[in-house]
A and B are shown apart, each in its own frame.
Chain A
Amino acid sequence: MKAVIIFCMVLMGSAHADIVIIGHSSNTNSVSVEELQRLYTGKSSSFANGESALPLNLGDANALRTSFDEKALGRSSSQIKAYWSKLVFTGKGTPPKEVSTEAEMVKLVSSNPNLLGYVSSTADLSGVKVLLKIE
């Protein structure tokens, strides 16, 4: 039984494995994984062309947040939280603003050229541009 559940989880995991990094339809920048990590850890706040970049995050409760932290940032959500708590409580940084759903993420990113977000590749991507795909 346990093996079946694990197998199903693996299948579900692979079905939702791809994460796409999205920007405004007018965004001409390409974003590398390294740049993405810098933007989401507060080490950089601009796109390659120098324009201001504001990353958006999904809330803690969202399963895609966990896989984004692990696959894109290479750390567990708990480690990322510990990292940000160091910056927040020394006044050195503020973590990315959080939204609760992927639909909200797409809507916000489609309306602001400075925003950067992520959704699963199966989401409705109308109005936004895919800047990077993470498998």
Chain B
Amino acid sequence: MKRSSKISLVRIGVTVFSVAVVTPLQAEISYQFNGFGTVAVGKVLSGDVADPDFVSYKCPCFITDYNNGGIYQSNDGWSIQEESRIGAQLNVNFTDRLSLVTQVMARAVDSELSLEWAYLSYDLTDKLTLQAGRKRIPLYFYSEFQDVGFAYIWLRPPQTLYGWEASNYNGANLRYTENFSDWSMTANIYAGSETVDDAPYNSLYDSVPQDSRWDKIRGVDIELNRDWFTARLIYMTSENSTTERPDSDAFYSPPTDQTVLGLSLNADFGDWFVLSEMNLNKREDKADGLTIRSPASMVGAGYRYGKWTPFVSWSRFWDKSNNLELYEPERFTDTSFTLRYDINNNSSIKAQINRLQDKSLYNFVGNSTVAAISYDFIF
């Protein structure tokens, strides 16, 4: 079911593309084909946990990717399937102002194709762009290019922040860019919805397959940049609901109201750089009077020494529940050390050690030390 729905989305993309190809609006249609990939192996080196059985996983275990369900388990050897992936993107420029962006991902963890981007973009003016279709939710600083390992320093962005049920949405957005004196700014508003069939996120917490829905997604993100300084502010609301399969029409009602507020502050001095991100996710289940606040934060620093970049980061996810019987908070800190080596302008190798300390109020993944090595490339 999951496969067929994803394939059908790909089919829509291919159809849109074919229509675009067979109806040349004018002679100047241009195409760009690009891609990227990551081959990664990782392993839980050591750890401890009160009860080794968590859902269907053997712990201490380490969730590499909440969106797609990647997890290193204690009984596994070096595993290549949790984080390895490849993406291909086709941009079709119909005119100077109108273009189509399509990106498809294949991940070893689910061995199927997923359509990450498929949208039409139209420049209303030089500064204002209207886009509609399927996009990534621009929730965190790295959310939109989380799959492109070559574009960031970590082997994977800290999952203390980068992990919820939905990572994409179908909808529309309006983007505005402006330069004033030494500052450049991009502001974006968006709206849409997303239903994830047999959500990998949910399967990390429950053995019963579930569909997950983020409805009425409304959000804004603003990025400011000046020389070495970058700040990004986001606000998003949505109405979240789930249903247990196969009863896919019976989403729980009323939905849970989700509000997310986030701030990133980055400083890049060429050799030294500092990254930080703070986020507050609030989920209100009004039917049960349950409110969960999940502040998450991250701070990291690195130094570029020629082709080598050592980097350390610390991050924390800290649930707070107003009803411990209904919801037991998940809490953990994750400290990581990354060493990146740029092989050339198109590829790099990274090695990363994570130390996760699980302080959840229920039996979650346990404490673990995890090692991973990746080869990231673009083409």
Contacts and interface: CB of A to CB of B under 8 A. Distances in A.
Interface of A: 34, 38, 43-46, 60, 74-79, 81-83, 85-86, 88-91, 94
Contact of A89 (B103, B177, B184): B103
B101 interface: yes
Contacts of A91: 91, 101, 103, 117, 119, 121, 131
Q: Is the interface of B mostly helix, strand, loop or mixed?
A: strand
A85 B91 contact: no
Given A78-B345, A86-B145, A86-B148, A94 B270 contact: no
B156 to A, nearest CB: 16
Given A75-B270, A90-B144, A94-B32, A85 B345 contact: no
B126 A78 contact: no
Nearest to B346: A81
Interface in B147-165: 147-148, 150-152
18 contacts: A43-B177, A45-B126, A46-B126, A78-B342, A78-B345, A81-B345, A81-B346, A82-B150, A85-B36, A85-B148, A86-B145, A88-B32, A89-B89, A89-B103, A89-B145, A91-B103, A91-B117, A91-B121
The 3 closest A-B pairs by CB, nearest first: A91-B101, A78-B342, A86-B151
A88 B346 CA distance: 14
B288 interface: no
B277 to A, nearest CB: 16
A117 B304 CA distance: 28
A79 to B, nearest CB: 8
Contacts of B131: 91
A54 B145 CA distance: 26
B262 interface: no
B91 A38 contact: no
Given A43-B184, A89-B103, 7 more contacts: A38-B179, A43-B177, A46-B126, A76-B304, A85-B36, A90-B145, A91-B131
A76 B89 CA distance: 25
Contacts of B225: 43
Contacts of B307: 78
B221 to A, nearest CB: 12
A90 B142 CA distance: 10
B182 interface: yes
A60 B87 CA distance: 22
Contacts of B207: none
B75 interface: no
A78 B153 CA distance: 12
A90 to B, nearest CB: 4
A81 B378 contact: yes
A38 B152 CA distance: 21
B67 to A, nearest CB: 16
Contacts of B354: none
Contacts of A79: 304
A60 B379 CA distance: 13
Nearest to B228: A74
Interface in B222-236: 225
B285 to A, nearest CB: 33
A89 B126 contact: no
B239 to A, nearest CB: 26
A43 to B, nearest CB: 5
Nearest to B131: A91
Nearest to B179: A44
Nearest to B306: A76
A91 to B, nearest CB: 4
A82 B89 CA distance: 16
Interface in B179-216: 179, 182, 184
Nearest to A80: B345
Interface string B93-129: 0000000010100000000000001010100001000
A38 B348 contact: no
B378 A85 contact: yes
Contact of B345 (A44, A45, A77): A77
Given A45-B126, A82-B151, A74 B145 contact: no
B23 interface: no
B36 A89 contact: yes
B34 A88 contact: yes
B344 interface: yes
Contacts of B147: 89
B136 interface: yes
Contacts of B32: 88, 94
